[in-house]
């Protein structure tokens, strides 16, 4: 996977202010506001910063959390980091290619998925490409 390295001013030039705030400054969109929260089409979710494929629609599920939820990423597409912000420890997920903030991973919540993980992802961090093989 190729790396995407841009300066802060280069990122500001290609991202909307909201995308920059979330992808580069690690913020979060309000729950229930993202366009992919209840999105059901078949295809691939890519990084809004660099277009790297991150998640297949077959791994998306309705968790009721207010953000798009996936139980697994495309192999090698997402990195995990300890996040100690807000007085708690969580697992942050970022795009492997550009380092853009996607959201957080939560384990052991009991959802009926193949692995007991929930990748809670900001819609603004994603773009979607429909699967046209139908």
Domains of the chain: 8-130 (2.170.150.20)
Q: Give the three-state DSSP class for 46.
A: strand
Task: Determine whether 120 is an active site residue.
Answer: yes
Distances (CA, A) of 124 to 17, 21, 113: 11, 10, 24
Contacts of 83 by beta carbon, 8 Å cutoff, 6+ apart: 89, 90, 91, 92, 104
Q: What is the pLDDT along the chain (134 residues), one digit of tens a residue?
A: 678 889 999 999 999 999 999 999 999 999 999 999 999 999 999 999 999 999 999 999 999 999 999 999 999 999 999 999 888 899 999 999 999 999 999 999 999 999 999 999 999 999 999 987 64
User: Which of 47, 50, 95, 120 does the annotation list as catalytic?
Assistant: 120
pLDDT of residue 134: 45
Record the pTM: 0.93
Could you identify the residue written with the tokens 């209840």?
38
């Amino acid at each position: 996977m190729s790396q995407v390295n841009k300066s802060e001013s280069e990122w500001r030039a290609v991202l909307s202010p909201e995308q920059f705030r979330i992808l580069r400054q690690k913020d979060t969109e309000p729950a229930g506001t993202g366009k992919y929260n209840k999105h059901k089409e078949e295809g691939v979710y890519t990084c809004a910063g660099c277009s790297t494929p991150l998640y297949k629609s077959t791994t998306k599920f309705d968790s009721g959390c207010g953000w798009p939820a996936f139980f697994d990423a495309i192999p090698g597409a997402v990195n995990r980091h300890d996040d100690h912000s807000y007085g708690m420890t969580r697992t942050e997920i970022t795009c492997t290619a550009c380092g853009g903030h996607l959201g957080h991973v939560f384990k052991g919540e009991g959802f009926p998925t193949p692995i007991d993980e929930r990748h809670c992802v900001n819609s603004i961090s994603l773009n979607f490409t429909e699967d046209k093989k139908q």
